[in-house]
């Protein structure tokens, strides 16, 4: 294979587009794809303060790197989930990346903030770890963005993620989730704008970018992800993609172009009515938000099992300030 730009020996093939690139021109192509996605959907302005949700994995680290190179004012946010050595190594990779580039990084340790780790939360509530983890991450990331005045939250969701979520939502006809499938979720009262600049790039393409840029990242998958339905959907889509390159991109883009507008137009009054949670004041569809309900339940069981003192009461306000670490 030869690079489509310069004719030299190619290092990376992008099968879904029938193209291949040498290292230099692959990096240019990749960053152009992100820049084009941002412009196409009006995700960000150069004047925006962007909070990058950074797990320490390849996707979020690559996203932070591209946004930095494109000239955006970024701050990283890493949540310490308390999943043993896995979480510690993720934090080390994130701190190394931020430190080598002099970028501000906010670290929120959930045990320090709310007195329980994600594995403890899952065990106490008897819910799947991925479920309570996703719920907690979405809430805390949004809270940091709102309280610290960021203009947008950028996440590292990629094409494989988005296509598998879309497949799962279609299989179960989760219309409330389908209308939120897009690469941009606009800001609302106490809900920060959320953007997905990597939504049309695959995991393989992101890995190639990360390796060529020699970026530090957490190589391990979360130990609790084994058996997740999303992995089954990804495997099914990968088998189709192998026979018909470009299927995942067409599946997602055609949904966004043809189906999402129809769903949006068909919703009563255009959207679900939101109200302020009685506990924390953040948006919810009920009286109390799912985050407060879940953590309240965990505290009740933690008191009964004497994991927490008998007088412990869950407070939605985290017991810490969101001060960024600034490398020397």
Q: What is the mean pLDDT of each run of 10 residues along the chain (328 residues)?
A: 96 96 98 97 97 98 98 98 96 97 97 96 96 96 97 98 96 89 94 97 98 97 86 96 96 94 71 87 95 97 95 89 77
- Number of other CB atoms surrounding residue 100 within 10 Å: 11
Separation CA 135–CA 155 (nearest Å): 15
Statement: the pTM of the whole predicted model exceeds 0.85: yes
DSSP string, 14-43: EGGGTEEE-HHHHHHHHHHHHHHHHHHTT-
Residue 276 has phi, psi (to 5 degrees) of: -80, 130
Q: Are 159 and 200 in contact (CB under 8 A)?
A: yes
Residue 68: the pLDDT is 98
Mean pLDDT, the chain, whole residue set: 94
User: Token pair of 75, please?
Assistant: 């701050």
Cβ 12 vs Cβ 208: under 8 Å: yes
Chain centre to alpha carbon of residue 151 = 16
Please check whether residue 277 is in contact with residue 288, taking contact to mean a CB–CB distance below 8 angstroms: yes
Name residues whose C-beta falls within 8 Å of residue 258's C-beta, 6 or more positions apart in sequence. Answer: none
Q: Whole-angstrom Cα distance, residue 287 to residue 274? A: 10
- pLDDT of amino acid 271: 59
Cβ–Cβ under 8 Å, residues 30 and 201? yes
State residue 268's pLDDT score. 57
288's torsion region: left (phi>0), alpha (psi -120 to 50) or beta?
beta
Cβ(151)–Cβ(120) below 8 Å: no
**Given this model, what pLDDT does residue 315 score?**
92
Q: Where exactly are the structural domains of the chain?
A: 23-270
Query: Does the 23-270 domain belong in CATH 3.30.70.20?
Result: no
Cβ count near 305 (within 10 Å): 10
């Amino acid at each position: 294979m030869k690079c489509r730009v310069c004719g030299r020996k190619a290092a990376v093939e992008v099968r879904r587009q029938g193209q291949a690139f040498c290292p230099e021109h692959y990096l240019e192509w990749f960053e152009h794809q992100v820049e084009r996605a941002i412009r196409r959907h009006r995700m960000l302005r150069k004047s925006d303060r962007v909070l990058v949700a950074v797990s320490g994995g390849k996707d979020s680290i690559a996203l932070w790197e591209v946004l930095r190179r494109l000239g955006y004012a970024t701050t990283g946010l890493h949540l310490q989930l308390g999943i043993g050595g896995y979480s510690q190594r993720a934090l080390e990779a994130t701190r190394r990346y931020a430190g080598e580039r002099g970028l501000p990084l906010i670290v929120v340790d959930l045990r320090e903030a709310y007195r329980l780790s994600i594995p403890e939360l899952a065990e106490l509530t008897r819910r799947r770890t991925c479920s309570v983890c996703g719920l907690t991450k979405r809430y805390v990331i949004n809270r940091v963005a709102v309280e610290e005045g960021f203009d947008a939250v950028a996440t590292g969701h990629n094409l494989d993620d988005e296509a598998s979520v879309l497949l799962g939502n279609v299989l179960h006809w989760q219309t409330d989730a389908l209308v939120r499938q897009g690469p941009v979720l606009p800001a609302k009262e106490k809900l920060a704008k959320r953007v997905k600049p990597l939504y049309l790039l695959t995991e393989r393409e992101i890995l190639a970018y990360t390796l060529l840029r020699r970026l530090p990242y957490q190589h391990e998958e979360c130990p609790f992800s084994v058996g997740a339905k999303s992995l089954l959907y990804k495997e099914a889509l990968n088998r189709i993609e192998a026979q018909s390159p470009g299927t995942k991109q067409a599946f997602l883009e055609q949904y966004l172009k043809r189906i999402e507008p129809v769903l949006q137009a068909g919703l009563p009054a255009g959207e679900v009515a939101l109200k302020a949670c009685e506990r924390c004041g953040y948006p919810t569809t009920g009286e109390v938000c799912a985050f407060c309900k879940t953590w309240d339940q965990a505290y009740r069981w933690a008191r009964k099992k004497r994991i927490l003192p008998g007088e412990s009461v869950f407070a939605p306000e985290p017991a810490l300030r969101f001060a960024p670490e600034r490398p020397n």
